[in-house]
Amino acid sequence: MTAAYRLALLLLSPVLLLQALYVRRYALRLPEPEGPRTGCTGDGTPLSLLILGDSAAAGVGAASQQQALAGQLVTRLAARHRVDWTLWAKSGRASRQVLALLEREDAHPFDVALTSIGVNDITGGVRLSDWLVQQARIRELLRTKFGVRRIVLSEVPPMQHFRALPQPLRWMLGERARRLNQALARSVAGEADVRVLSVTLPPDGDYLAEDGFHPNATAYALWAQQAAALIADARR
């Protein structure tokens, strides 16, 4: 953290606190979409998939699970695989809650795990060092308890573009997201079974749901498309 960034946080802290309290109280809250959270579909090489994480993993912002990340990813993978898939995701989950979930769930083998974890750590003020420790423990459990052979970590989204957040809170959270992503990439650089997914969105589109915070169906489609390509490339 640079001296200029620390100074900016210090000077802006009263405003940031008031804005955070306002957003927490008045922001539009969308439900998790209806639809199956486990299934088996497609023909071809068997592939077991776990999708794990927060409200974005759960599909908030989409009208149904079919339009959300899980549904769109499974549809793409099912073109080449018989996909046995499971979604463990819930709004509000940060790394600590995801870790607790993995610790209490019964062991079940998966070939691939795709995660979406980090926004709630940022809004909850989790320290970077604690987040990295929790992330490392999540990866360890995925390997040792669930037999995962490929882990795809979705980057924390660019929160500086979230319309629901006023400035300068939007800028500050965007900076935190960028720092978490940089630290995560460094921390997994030596782990051959891990890929970090930075979703590329064309600059001329609108990719946010009506709450100005979560992805919409178009964003989920692009996320699923790029995740499917990364998973397919890893299995060659």
Residue for token pair 């539009």: 28
The residue type of 51 is: I
Select from 36, 51, 42, 16 the least CA-distant residue to 175. 16
CB distance 38 to 86 below 8 Å: yes
Q: pTM above 0.85?
A: yes
Give the pair of three-digit tokens for residue 215.
């992805």
Give the pair of three-digit tokens for residue 217.
């169906």
- Segment 93-107, tens digit of pLDDT: 999 999 999 999 999
Separation of alpha carbons 153 and 114, rounded Å: 6
The domains of the chain are located at 3-234
- Looking only at Cα atoms, what is the longest distance across the chain? 58
Note if the bond before 168 is cis, omega within 30 degrees.
yes
- Segment 157-206, tens digit of pLDDT: 999 999 999 999 999 999 999 999 999 999 999 999 999 999 998 887 89
Contacts 24+ apart (CB under 8 A), 168-171: 168/12, 168/15, 168/16, 168/19, 169/15, 169/16, 169/19, 169/20, 169/23
Domain 3-234 has CATH 3.40.50.1110: yes
Separation of alpha carbons 218 and 76, rounded Å: 15
* pLDDT, averaged across the chain: 94
pLDDT tier for residue 124 given thresholds of 50, 70 and 90: very high
Separation of alpha carbons 234 and 149, rounded Å: 10
Separation of alpha carbons 195 and 184, rounded Å: 11
78: which residues sit within 8 A by CB, 6+ positions away?
Answer: 41, 42, 43
Select from 51, 36, 68, 56 the least CA-distant residue to 112. 51
* Residues in the chain, total: 236
- Segment 209-225, tens digit of pLDDT: 999 999 999 999 999 99
Q: Tell me the DSSP string of 73-102.
A: HHHHHTTTEEEEEEEEE-TT--HHHHHHHH
Q: What percent of the chain has pLDDT over 90?
A: 85
Tell how strand 81-89 and strand 150-154 pair up: unpaired
pLDDT of residue 236 exceeding 60: no
